[in-house]
Structure 1
Amino acid sequence: MKILRNLNKSATMRALCLILGAFSGVASLPLSAGAEAVHALAMYGEPALSDGFTALPYVNPDARQGGMIRLAEAGGFDSLKPWVLKGNAAWGVGVHVAETLMYRSLDEPFTLYGLLAESVETAPDRSWVEFTLHPEARFSDGSPVTVADVMWSLETLGTRGHPRYHAAWAKVARMEQTGERSLRITFTETDRELPMLMGLRPVLKKAQWEGKDFSASSLEAPVGSGPYVVDRVDPGRSITFRRDPAYWGKDLPVNRGRNNLDVIRYDYFGDANAMFEAFKAGEVTVWRELSALKWEQEYDFPLMQRGDAVKSEIPNGRPSGIMGLVMNTRNPLFADWRVRQAMIEAFNFRFVNATLNGGKDRRITSYFANSGLAMQPGPATGREAELLQPFAADLPPGTIEGYTLPEGSDRALDRAGLRRAIALLADAGWTVRDGVLQDAQGRPFAFEILLNQSGTAMRTASETQQIADIYVQALRNLGMQARITLLDPAQFVQRTNEFQFDMTWYERALSLSPGNEQLLYWGSAAADQPGSRNWMGMKSPAVESVVAAMVNSQTAEDFAAAVRALDRILTAGRYVVPVGFSPVSRLAHAADLRYPARTTPLYGDWPGFMPELWWQEAEE
């Protein structure tokens, strides 16, 4: 157990803790040396907003309260517990119902402001963090949010929750109550991000879940402290959230101009086509268009002609992330980097982009493209090179020297790319005999491409299938036998959680403040952890090293060098056949739904933007 019995903050008890720490070897400095309680915490430097700010800079603090928004989701759901691996949880529960100790600003790379926590205190080296709860903090049933609730939530999520919570909890040495409304978490190792990760963990009501199997999926409506409560649930088809008129935090500066709508409803549809038709019929009030070509050509329908709906483009300054077809290196077929490069050479992005999107998408050139954290052309230099050099012998070619994606061709058949692919495959032991690519034992190069029949967050099902169809045709020119399998969302989630695929569609959004979560995406331990996001199965000591450098960087310059080094490892690892991205979000929405367009935050259309910042104008 990492939870200790309650301690008060008297000088006597602090002295006793120091003595015990000296004997145990855990603490060698006074518990509050150089620390003070503050309203916000930044990863680097100081928070942009000083104590006493009245509202976040990107909200409309005078937004009208009331109204309703109806959103569309693909597939279905069978659970209201987004904090566990089991089940397919309804979207919105973790966003609207549960709260965290601190709130992440959408206008800064990584700064947290107090939410459930009235203040936060941390050691200069961030070896511990202490949170003090707001005295007014309440769950929706009127009961107070207590230190016991926070401590139970952190430990339960870290031991029985989704695997994404486990890594940070493993670095907790102890957790103790230090006052009626305060708790302290001490860490086992130096990691500047850990205090912030603890501040972003959801706080659940201990009494609701005690005595139950927390790891099991459930349709029991969670009792949260957030601005909304679960109002109606039609399992698999719709979920409605209603704003809590007694919400304890509605007057907090961090909440002013947020959570304006009375009702938020999510309706579930079989696929993107059905979702779009529902928007055209006015049954859904916001539609996120993923195709630039459709955005230009397919919005001349009655709803738009009448002016009942409008189009908005929302820019952002965040990284492109990675999107495309990921290769599972647990399959020996894709274990060789030369094979993976051949797969990339065979994908003619220029032709695919022109055919499906009018050539309007930008190509994803690396995982952190579209940001200052992206790897630069040419060889690594300076601190970036220093971080990579110890692993030079084991890194794929191009990691340190520089790596670029093939240019492709305007024609369907990219002969130059296919020639390079054939040469790489031959070097890896694959040759074409009787029109079939085979290894030395005569085994054919055959594999399955797994797709979600309901599409994904960034691509519709028809788009991913069209991309895969064009790709399969190109692979046939190499003698490869690729087949496409469509699965419903539940089956797709199950198989990808268990890494039961050869190749599949892959999307990972990345922020301007990457940290410990990168180990869940690409870390060696995550490669064997069902439910992790390391779908490619990569195991690279270099990744662990540069992530450690990221989370322990003392300056923004060292941090950027570490991220760029990580970007090189991932990109030159050739795990994903990348497609394109858009630097803007395209939202068609009911004309009476508004957002603060003049003060779009740095992250743009990002979780926390829509519907949280939106409001509905009153009817004239």
Structure 2
Amino acid sequence: MSLFVRALLVIPGLWALSLSALAVPAADVATVGGISLYDSPALPDDFTHLPYTNPDAPKGGELRQAAQGSFDSTNGFIIQGNPADGLSHVYDTLMEASADEPFTMYGLLAGGIRLDPDRHWMEIDLRRSARFHDGHPVTAEDVVFSFRLLRDQGQPFYRAYYAGVDQVEALDDDTVRFEFSDNESRELPLILGQLPVLPKHYWQSRDFTSPTLDKPLGSGPYEVASILPGRRIMYRRVDDYWGRNLPINRGRHNIDRLVYDYYRDQTVALEAFKAGNLDLRRESSAKNWATAYDTPALEAGFIKRMTVPDAQPAGMQAFVMNLRRAPFQDRRVREALTLATDFDWLNTHLFYGAYQETDSYFESSEMEAQGLPSDDELALLAPYRDILPDDVFEEPLPMSRPDTLRARLKKALSLLREAGYEVRDGVLVDTDTGRPMRLQFLLYDTQFERVTLPLIQNLERLGIQASVRVVDVNQYLTRRRNFDFDLMIGSFPQSANPGNEQREYWTSEYADAPRSRNLIGLRNPAVDALVDRLIGANSRQALDTTARALDRVLRWGFYVIPQWHLDGTRIAMWDKFGYPQPFPEYTFDLSSWWVDPQRAARVEERQRGEG
């Protein structure tokens, strides 16, 4: 750090001023059509369509999918209510990601982008042709209004996402400027590209914080056609959608009607699919995938199955322990609980060998910690040596565990005894109070009972009184947003370029924020600091190193009981769709599919005959 910059840091109020003073003037920055996290976008500014789309794809047809549970709101941006599926189809964002690149955004509402080379600010020129569905133009004031509305009244993750924005203003009707409080987050400009733009003239006279079943007004490729509260929502393609001929959209949004039918039970939803009442299904059950689709329609080629690969990290799916409750505040108890799971038995007897065991929060990526920490990792971890377990520094990953369940349970019982528990008459109790350890697993999907019960049986062998509570989706969401659970299944998905979302996953600021994704209730200064470092990484190497250090801290904290993963998306569908191949490398993009008229007619003829 130079002496000049050090001097600025000690003068109150001058540091923020210095960013603008030192930043490159907007007039000296080229206007471009896309931005990327580290490198340049793969496509030139004059690209005609995304490489994985078919610009000549036919329009028309219908796609019916199942949704889980129920819904009572068409406002998906707020804490309250259970929003309907598919609402993102209604809204355009400033930019759109390419599913063929790790993290690149191309202009959607944004016709031009100017990003300060040092990432102190960004200006966006809106396309003058952009319109909401009621004909009102999309203006810079709408962008400013949307940013402030989502940050101040939306779900907690918006506050986490936009934390680095110091100021946003409309320079004129078509130009908006974002100024950043610092330039530590390379990801922040791209995150702002994901901003959904809401109409100010619609929302300024309405209560944004309350659930509603009104049809929302947006500027996107679809609008809500009909609502059957709690049971069905249907979207129709907007014929005169303002952005239909943009290069980013050419060959996308081809299907006329998108239907989401709600089912409280996944078994019923599966039967509805096989009966032809649903067109496509993303299958999460290995058992179903192996056994449930063996039907005459599959044998005759009317139903197809495939696994669409992706290059994203697998992330972490796990039973999450709620640190807000005893006894999870003791690391030895948490480690003991992780030893009670038996993935090999589950994979053999329930999963048909379909899955791989998850170890890392950045599984299947260069960000996964392996072996002992490198010198660069140790440099990041060293300031927190006093508050981190010695294992973080001294033990390799993946961590060694006894090979057999019997040996793991023996080690678990030893840890529980160290933590102040003992077994009396077959029940594990607190040595001081005599109170038994009782744990409840909160679920909403009965499919997960069969994978939870074996874990409960293993816990009972340790004397732990464990049970499953299956509730309806609405009650589940209420308890989740209020952190009213002992253990529940949590998912922490990761992209190839993790960033601002990590604040909401792990940091102290979000430990008690309702509906935040810090389900664990983590409050750890080392984690907070590593997340800040991760967000501020200025190179791929720095990001990978920081992610590995964070991975070590999380794994040696034993905050979750890891589950399993599959490197891809399992799709079952009636053979009425066309789709470009090869699939995009990083993300499954259903918006590039279309209904093939001839194949759809063949399927419908069969279904009518069976009906």
Both proteins in one fold, TM over 0.5: yes
Match of 2:127 in 1: 134
| Structure 2: unaligned runs, 5 residues or longer | 1-12, 602-611
Instruction: Decide whether the 8 Å contact of 1:319 with 1:511 is kept in 2.
Output: yes
Equivalent in 158, 166, 171 of residue 164 of structure 2: 171
Match of 1:158 in 2: 151
- Give me the whole-angstrom Cα distance separating, in 2, the residues matched to 1:527 and 1:66: 46
Alignment length (residue pairs): 583
TM-superposed deviation, 1:177: 1.7
State the one-letter code of the partner of 1:188. S
Give the direction of change, closer, same or farther, for the CA distance of 1:468–1:397 in structure 2 (3 Å limit). farther
Range 62-71 or range 293-302, more displaced: 293-302
Is 1:502 matched up with 2:502? Answer: no
Range 80-89 or range 569-578, more displaced: 569-578
Question: Superposition pairs for residues 234-273 of structure 1, below 5 Å?
Answer: 234-273=228-267
Match of 2:78 in 1: 84
State the one-letter code of the partner of 2:530. V
Is 1:518 matched up with 2:502? Answer: yes
Question: Superposition pairs for residues 99-498 of structure 1, below 5 Å?
Answer: 99-190=92-183, 191-376=185-370, 378-400=371-393, 401-405=395-399, 414-439=405-430, 440-452=432-444, 455=445, 461-462=446-447, 464-498=448-482
- Give me the whole-angstrom Cα distance separating, in 1, the residues matched to 2:253 and 2:49: 13
- Could you list the per-position Cα deviations for residues 12-52 of structure 1 after superposition, in whole angstroms to 9, with x for gaps in the alignment? xxxxxxxx999955622253376322111111111111111
Question: TM-score, structure 2 length as denominator?
Answer: 0.92
- Could you list the per-position Cα deviations for residues 517-559 of structure 1 after superposition, in whole angstroms to 9, with x for gaps in the alignment? 1010111111011110010111122222222222222211111
Is 1:61 matched up with 2:55? Answer: yes
Name the % identity.
39
State the one-letter code of the partner of 2:352. G
Instruction: Decide whether the 8 Å contact of 2:507 with 2:531 is kept in 1.
Output: no
Match of 1:529 in 2: 513
CA RMSD in angstroms, aligned pairs only: 1.8
Give the direction of change, closer, same or farther, for the CA distance of 1:145–1:520 in structure 2 (3 Å limit). same
Question: Superposition pairs for residues 503-582 of structure 1, below 5 Å?
Answer: 503-582=487-566
- Give me the whole-angstrom Cα distance separating, in 2, the residues matched to 1:149 and 1:522: 32
Three-state SS of the structure 1 residue aligned to 2:225 is strand
Match of 1:4 in 2: none
- Give me the whole-angstrom Cα distance separating, in 1, the residues matched to 2:495 and 2:19: 33
Give the direction of change, closer, same or farther, for the CA distance of 1:521–1:23 in structure 2 (3 Å limit). closer
State the one-letter code of the partner of 2:515. G
State the one-letter code of the partner of 2:325. N
- Give me the whole-angstrom Cα distance separating, in 2, the residues matched to 1:119 and 1:136: 13
Match of 1:46 in 2: 40
State the one-letter code of the partner of 2:463. G
Instruction: Decide whether the 8 Å contact of 1:116 with 1:134 is kept in 2.
Output: yes
Three-state SS of the structure 2 residue aligned to 1:394 is coil
Instruction: Decide whether the 8 Å contact of 1:65 with 1:261 is kept in 2.
Output: yes
Instruction: Decide whether the 8 Å contact of 1:350 with 1:407 is kept in 2.
Output: no
Range 25-34 or range 510-519, more displaced: 25-34
- Give me the whole-angstrom Cα distance separating, in 2, the residues matched to 1:126 and 1:103: 20
Match of 1:614 in 2: 593
TM-superposed deviation, 1:384: 2.1
Range 69-78 or range 382-391, more displaced: 382-391
- Give me the whole-angstrom Cα distance separating, in 2, the residues matched to 1:214 and 1:571: 39
> Structure 1 stretches (4+) deviating beyond 6 angstroms?
20-23
State the one-letter code of the partner of 1:102. M
Is 1:601 matched up with 2:592? Answer: no
- Give me the whole-angstrom Cα distance separating, in 2, the residues matched to 1:534 and 1:408: 30
Three-state SS of the structure 2 residue aligned to 1:343 is helix
State the one-letter code of the partner of 1:251. N
- Give me the whole-angstrom Cα distance separating, in 2, the residues matched to 1:261 and 1:23: 48
Range 118-127 or range 223-232, more displaced: 118-127
Match of 1:591 in 2: 575
Instruction: Decide whether the 8 Å contact of 1:22 with 1:28 is kept in 2.
Output: no
Give the direction of change, closer, same or farther, for the CA distance of 1:355–1:407 in structure 2 (3 Å limit). farther
Three-state SS of the structure 2 residue aligned to 1:295 is helix
Equivalent in 60, 66, 73 of residue 67 of structure 2: 73
